[in-house]
Structure 1
Amino acid sequence: MTSQKKVTSTYPSDSTAVADIAAANDSASSEATTDNSPADNGVDLATVFDAYFRPDANTIVCGALDDEKVASLAQAGVELVINLQPDDELSFDEAAAVERAGMHYEHLPINGAADLKQLKILAFDNILRQYHGKKIAMHCGSGNRVGAAIALRAGWLRGRKMDTAMERGRSHGLTKLEQEVHNRLLVPR
């Protein structure tokens, strides 16, 4: 998300003023896109996670968590962690770590393409609705299942067109499941 400043000059032909305005806009844009922002309490989440997507100011999509990553999310002001990994992929008691860090925890295991069913997406939608407007972190192993769930939610539950739903999924980490999600969106729900 970039901020745009509307600046009017009384000297439209002054190339120095135009260059200064362009430089100010570039500076504002780069500041708005850094992850070490006041919105994250100074935490640079992009350096904490290998897989990291930031589709908007209140949404973080990342890969698997550990104690250090949970602490970073809490420090960054995250209020809810949604875990889409099945239990057999977890290496520690994530629920306890998240709750100790003062955040809410929701676990909705999605074990690959076979679990990308409408009931799971409805449950996912319900969680997102409960915490609407809150700062959330959603994760699986790489962000791919999160992106798939977001795309299917956009298409099946929000009535978005195919291109819009797929782009929404990609912005949230959809990669390897892209063809599977595309095929599922072709089937009316």
Structure 2
Amino acid sequence: MSDLIPNFKQPTADIATGGQPSLDQLARVSDYGFRSILNLRPATENAGLDEHAEVVRLGMKYHHLPVAMANDLTRSAAAELGRILGDKANLPILVHCGSGNRVGALFALRAAWIDGASTEDAINIGQQYGLTKMEDDVRRILTK
């Protein structure tokens, strides 16, 4: 699927991450057996499609956890990510934002805050899930 989703990564068998999928790409995600989509893009980032309706039409579950900027990378957002991923009925899942960067940032924070990873281990985990330009933000947040 790496040719389908922008910046696609699949660090585990049940969790894939990346940038915004198109309608056709959502259909292919469904064809690959994914049960859920978690969209981190806020409503102000209109992707030009009704993703919620399309995901439901394709028979998948739709989850929305808006993360617009570093200020939205909170403990409650990390906990919500953990809750969604902890429900086996949601797996396999595709977690996306515009590029995948916010996805990786939230996974890094989840690793630190929920799983107890060190800052360096959390950054490495975040990078596996798509963390790039927000690495400095994640480090700053973790040192508060």
Q: Which moved more, 1:46-55 or 1:142-151?
A: 46-55
- What is the deviation of 1:133? 7.7
Q: What is the TM-score normalised by the length of structure 1?
A: 0.72
Structure 1 match to 2:107: 150
Equivalenced residues, count: 143
1:79 equivalent to 2:38? Answer no
User: 1:29-68 deviations in whole A, cap 9, x for unaligned?
Assistant: xxxxxxxxxxxxxxxx111122111111211101112210
Residue of structure 1 in register with 2:9 after alignment: 53
SS at structure 2 position matched to 1:166: helix
CA contact (8 A) 2:5 2:18 kept: yes
Distance 2:77 2:12 in 1: 23
Contact 1:53 1:171 in 2 (8 A): yes
TM-score of the aligned structures, taking structure 2 as reference length:
0.94
Return the index of the structure with the highest Cα Rg. Answer: 1
Aligned equivalents of 1:123, 1:185: Cα separation in 2? 18
Taking the aligned partners of 2:135 and 2:89, their CA distance within structure 1 comes to: 26
Of 24, 33, 44, the match for 1:88: 44
CA distance in 2, matches of 1:119, 1:74: 28
> Which of 117, 122, 125 in structure 1 is aligned with 2:79?
122
Instruction: State the Cα distance separating 1:155 from its structure 2 match.
Output: 0.3
Shift of 1:76: 0.6
Question: Are residues 1:63 and 2:19 paired?
Answer: yes
1:135-170 alpha-carbon deviations (Å, 9 max, x no partner) = 110000011011000000000111111111110000
Identify the structure with the greater helix proportion: 1
Deviation of 1:103 (Å): 0.7
Say whether residues 1:101 and 2:58 are aligned partners: yes
**Counterpart contact for 2:104–2:130, Cα < 8 Å:** yes
Output one character per residue of 1:60-96: Cα deviation in whole Å (capped at 9) or x when no partner.
1011122101101000110110000011213111011
Measure how far apart 1:117 and its partner are. Answer: 1.3
Match of 2:96 among 109, 127, 139: 139
Q: Relative contact order (alpha carbons < 8 A, sep ≥ 6): 1 or 2 greater?
A: 2
CA distance in 1, matches of 2:128, 2:143: 20
